[in-house]
Amino acid sequence: MIFKKKSYERRVSLKQDVVDSISSYCKIKHPNESILILKGKSKKGNITIDGLVIPPFSHTGPTFAGFPHSFLPFDMSYVGIVHSHPSGSAEPSLTDLHNFFGLVSIIVQHPYGDDDIFAWDSKGNSIPLEII
Ligand SMILES: [Zn+2]
């Protein structure tokens, strides 16, 4: 008998209006980084993002965006964070991986278009992302 391990391919689905909101928020904050909390739900590895929350007490600069996680209310609908990389590379930095929050980390690179959005897991592996 072949023992098959059940594993789910992870995938991230982003609503188009959420993408538009992220994009315009990043443009307003540019050249500083911006950071937002992703709201949505996760089912069998599929993460659907349908809302955004501006984190409390966020502090941002040209190379760093963060907020104290301890101030976050416990909310199961918070599936991760999105932040921008004004420098133009969507690769997660070591700091990003150390500050990983939730299930997915989305990074938007300059100039913040639909093709500039990338999703990563806590190990820095890319997760397929689709705009719905
Ligand atoms: Zn970063």
- Rounded to whole angstroms, the Cα distance separating 128 from 51 reads 19
Distance 19 CA to ligand 1 centre (A): 18
Distance 6 CA to ligand 1 centre (A): 32
Q: How confident is the model at residue 6 (pLDDT cuts 50, 70, 90)?
A: low
Q: Which two tokens stand for residue 70?
A: 């301890």
Per the CB < 8 A criterion, the answer to whether 27 and 68 are in contact is no
Determine the 3-state secondary structure of 106 from DSSP. strand
Q: How confident is the model at residue 85 (pLDDT cuts 50, 70, 90)?
A: very high
Distance 94 CA to ligand 1 centre (A): 8
Distance 73 CA to ligand 1 centre (A): 23
Question: Taken in order 123, 45, 112, 59, is the CA torsion positive or negative?
Answer: negative
Looking at the domain that runs over 11-57+76-131, which CATH code has it been given?
3.40.140.10
Is the pLDDT at 121 greater than 90? The verdict is yes
Distance 124 CA to ligand 1 centre (A): 11
Distance 12 CA to ligand 1 centre (A): 19
Lowest mean pLDDT among 58-62, 70-74, 120-124, 126-130: 70-74
Distance 120 CA to ligand 1 centre (A): 11
Q: Which two tokens stand for residue 93?
A: 């930095």
Other Cβ atoms within 10 Å of 106 Cβ, number: 27
Distance 97 CA to ligand 1 centre (A): 9
pTM confidence score: 0.85
Segment 101-108 mean pLDDT: 93
Is the pLDDT at 7 greater than 60? The verdict is no
pLDDT at 9: 75
- Rounded to whole angstroms, the Cα distance separating 25 from 102 reads 21
pLDDT at 108: 97
Q: For residue range 24-73, what is the model confidence (pLDDT) as tens digits?
A: 999 999 999 999 999 999 998 899 999 999 877 666 666 666 666 655 66
Element (H, E) at 77: none
Distance 99 CA to ligand 1 centre (A): 9
Per the CB < 8 A criterion, the answer to whether 94 and 101 are in contact is no
Distance 89 CA to ligand 1 centre (A): 9
Q: Which of 85, 88, 91 is nearest to 120 (CA)?
A: 91
